[in-house]
Amino acid sequence: MSQLTWRLGLGESAKVVIITADDLGLCHAANVACFSMLGSGVVTSASLIMTAPWAREAAARYRGEDIGVSLTITSEHDLLRFGPLTQAPSLLGGDGGFAQTGLDALDHADLDEVRRECRAQLERAVLWGFNLTHLSAHQGILLTRPEFFDVVLELAEEYQLPLRLPSGAAESVLGFPARSLASRAGVIAPDLTIDATAHGLREVVTDLAPRLIEGVTEIVVRPAQGTEELEAFAEDAAVRIDDFHLLSREAGVKAALRDAGANLIGWRPLLELARRHQDQHS
């Protein structure tokens, strides 16, 4: 049974699912896919990379959809480079953009510069008109070490935003109790996170129904429209395109949710709960 669904007024045994499209702002192909699916209701939220080349275009498309910020200190694609808003020296890789790997980024990152950069990304999103619904960490990098996790947690608490956190085995490898720390700080997170970005949603859908728990599950995907632009830089272009097709043209996801007795929601109910909690304790 889930305390979170009970607090949301859905009942302790309810199964609810958030489907989040990551990498909004990365490229035009991602923006087209994310906003088309947000409009259709199959995808219920998106996470924006504020430092990416097409973030401004995402802001121009924004019409109040359920969108959060993915705090970013890496730029993993060799042929699509972008860097920190603050031009922080410790966050720059050898080519002037962010480091390409999480290990490289964390080994060189100055904690104060990370704090300023993450705040700048959030502040720019607000300045550009986004009514943010949640917070996440791009590739989970900032959640892997306690000192950087503290930065993310502080911002989630300050901005009263729910936060994506690893669950199960993914949390156990961190070496520190991320969920317990978030709970003590009053920061709300879904009960379970299913990250389908590595191998694609199709691999997850085959056994989705038995994996869904009583509670709030977030499924993270990276859909994109098939374009020459995407295929020119994205090593995982085929996975992103297949996620888009599976969510927009096929019935497999909806069938799996129906078989599990699960309903779709966005992050806004969690956001409203987070802000009610803060108001009660202020």
Helices H, strands E: what count in the chain? Answer: 14, 7
Instruction: Tally Cβ neighbours within 10 Å of residue 171.
Output: 17
> Is the pLDDT confidence value at 277 over 80?
no
Tokens of 198: 């590595």
| pLDDT, averaged across the chain | 95
Amino acid in position 90 = S
> Is the pLDDT confidence value at 279 over 80?
no
Which uninterrupted H or E stretch holds 217?
strand 215-221
The DSSP symbol for 41 reads: T
Tokens of 137: 């960490």
Instruction: Tally Cβ neighbours within 10 Å of residue 255.
Output: 13
- Radius of gyration of the chain, Cα coordinates, nearest whole angstrom: 18
Segment 244-258 mean pLDDT: 92
Q: Are 27 and 229 in contact (CB under 8 A)?
A: yes
Residue 101's Cβ-side half-sphere holds a number of Cα atoms within 13 Å equal to: 3
Tokens of 132: 């943010």
Architecture of domain 3-280: Alpha-Beta Barrel (3.20)
pLDDT for residue 1: 66
**pLDDT grade for 16, boundaries at 50, 70 and 90:** very high
> Is the pLDDT confidence value at 280 over 80?
no
> Which of 263, 29, 267, 18 is CA-nearest to residue 130?
267
pLDDT for residue 281: 59
- Residue 135: beta bridge partners? 69, 163
Q: What percent of the chain has pLDDT over 70?
A: 98
Which spans in the chain are helix H? Answer: 3-7, 28-40, 55-61, 102-108, 111-127, 146-158, 169-172, 178-184, 201-205, 208-211, 228-233, 237-249, 252-260, 268-280
For the chain, domain boundaries? 3-280
pLDDT for residue 23: 98
Amino acid in position 48 = L
The pLDDT tens digits of the residues spanning 74-128 come to: 999 999 999 999 999 999 998 879 999 999 999 999 999 999 999 999 999 999 9
> Is the pLDDT confidence value at 157 over 90?
yes
Q: How far does the chain reach from its first CA to its final CA, in angstroms? A: 29
**pLDDT grade for 42, boundaries at 50, 70 and 90:** confident
> Which of 88, 25, 2, 4 is CA-nearest to residue 274?
4
pTM over 0.85: yes
pLDDT for residue 70: 98
pLDDT for residue 278: 66
Segment 63-83 mean pLDDT: 97
**pLDDT grade for 48, boundaries at 50, 70 and 90:** very high
> Is the pLDDT confidence value at 282 over 70?
no
What span, in angstroms and rounded, lies between the C-alpha atoms of 187 and 174? 18
Residues with Cβ < 8 Å from 42, sequence gap 6 or more? 19, 247, 248, 253, 254
**pLDDT grade for 267, boundaries at 50, 70 and 90:** very high
The DSSP symbol for 163 reads: B
Q: Are 54 and 23 in contact (CB under 8 A)?
A: no
Residue 120's Cβ-side half-sphere holds a number of Cα atoms within 13 Å equal to: 15
Segment 40-55 mean pLDDT: 96
